[in-house]
Copies of this chain bind each other. A is one copy, B any other.
Amino acid sequence: MNLSFDVTALGNAIVDVIAPAQETFLADENLAKGAMTLIDEGGAARLYARMAPGIEASGGSAANTVAGIASLGGRAAFIGKVATDALGEVFAHDIRAIGARFETPPLAGGPATARCLVNVTPDGQRTMCTFLGASTQLTPADVSAPLIEGAAVVYLEGYLFDAPQARRAFAKAAALAHGAGRAIALTLCDPFVVERHGEALRGFIESQVDILFANEAEITALFRASDFEAAARAISSCVSIAALTRGADGSVVIGMGERRSIAAAAVDKVVDTTGAGDQYAAGFLFALARGAPLDTCGRLGSAAASEVISHYGPRPQTSLRALATGMIEQ
């Protein structure tokens, strides 16, 4: 089987605005530390006016994963919606420049390109407020059959569950993928996403998802479980593979009749945890698409995550190819 892509992902097309912040700033602004809160354009303008000087960098959860897979040497494509504006050009440039395919037509005459205001506290934790703008305008028409059918894994970003049109795009992608014998992966993204869409999300996972990514808060929220172990048992009967991340405690990978605990890779200093889960998924999915065993998938995920948390910004700053050496046949 000669596929065009290791992974094709559907997600929000977002530019991050990343600035340092003190703990008191989060309190003053009533921001839930570590979470992602949706805000409107006016709210974004008001919060931005109070933030410290920052940098802008392309982001978006699944888009970060696609960038990571490309950086690892994989072939990846992204489907997501920007507007015809300067930040949209930045997003399109960056994802293409790292080597990924991106051909979703930009939205003209609608809301601006999405932006995520990321406040990074001195402990490296990121607290995000997102104005989704154009990214919610992704429709089934943007789901191109060759990109879906030509990928070993189709990866869906849970954040898009908030947008009705995009949810229909998920359904189309899942139908195309399964029709062609491909796997569907989903990342839950955020405990609030799970709370907002619990039942619909569980239904979608049971019927359509082969590979699930979640952190502890998300997986326990999904099953309203009392603890991580109960949630891990519940998910193992729903999907073929579950990759459950636990921050500094590494991850637990369940599937193919086994359960493995994977240690987090060592990091000198955690600067900014933005993108940690996204890069874990990048390493994991690239290894999986190349036929590696599950514990190798988990270890490559941990290695990719450790690079991204050692600097500001949600995407790799150096080529990740070397990380995969010895783990993946290239």
Contact digits for A55-79, partner B, Cβ 8 Å, 1 yes 0 no: 1111000000001000000000000
- Residues of B with C-beta under 8 A to A98: 52-53
Asked if A90 is at the interface of the complex by the 8 Å CB criterion, the answer is: yes
**A20: min CB distance to chain B, Å:** 8
Asked if A23 is at the interface of the complex by the 8 Å CB criterion, the answer is: no
A53–B95 Cα gap in the complex (Å)?
7
* With known contacts A86-B86, A87-B86, A93–B49 Cβ distance under 8 A: yes
Contact of A97 among B51, B56, B86 (CB under 8 A): B51
Asked if A112 is at the interface of the complex by the 8 Å CB criterion, the answer is: yes
Contact B55 A93 (CB under 8 A): no
Contact B58 A53 (CB under 8 A): yes
A interface SS class: mixed
A49–B90 Cα gap in the complex (Å)?
10
Contact B58 A57 (CB under 8 A): no
Asked if A48 is at the interface of the complex by the 8 Å CB criterion, the answer is: yes
Q: Which of A291-330 contact B (CB under 8 A)?
A: 313, 315, 317
Contact A94 B54 (CB under 8 A): yes
**A93: min CB distance to chain B, Å:** 6
A202–B317 Cα gap in the complex (Å)?
43
Q: Which of chain B's residues has its CB closest to A19's CB?
A: B97
Q: Which of chain B's residues has its CB closest to A99's CB?
A: B53
**A83: min CB distance to chain B, Å:** 10
Ordered by A's residue number, 22 sampled pairs between the chains whose C-beta atoms are within 8 Å are A17-B90, A19-B97, A48-B89, A51-B93, A52-B98, A53-B58, A53-B67, A53-B93, A53-B95, A53-B97, A53-B98, A53-B315, A54-B94, A55-B57, A55-B313, A56-B56, A56-B90, A85-B85, A85-B86, A86-B87, A86-B112, A86-B113
Q: Which of A238-256 contact B (CB under 8 A)?
A: none
Contact B67 A97 (CB under 8 A): no
**A226: min CB distance to chain B, Å:** 42
A98–B55 Cα gap in the complex (Å)?
13
- Residues of B with C-beta under 8 A to A67: 53
**A183: min CB distance to chain B, Å:** 27
**A52: min CB distance to chain B, Å:** 5
* With known contacts A55-B55, A57-B56, A98-B53, A48–B86 Cβ distance under 8 A: no
**A77: min CB distance to chain B, Å:** 16
Q: Which of chain B's residues has its CB closest to A115's CB?
A: B86
Q: Which of A97-123 contact B (CB under 8 A)?
A: 97-98, 112-113
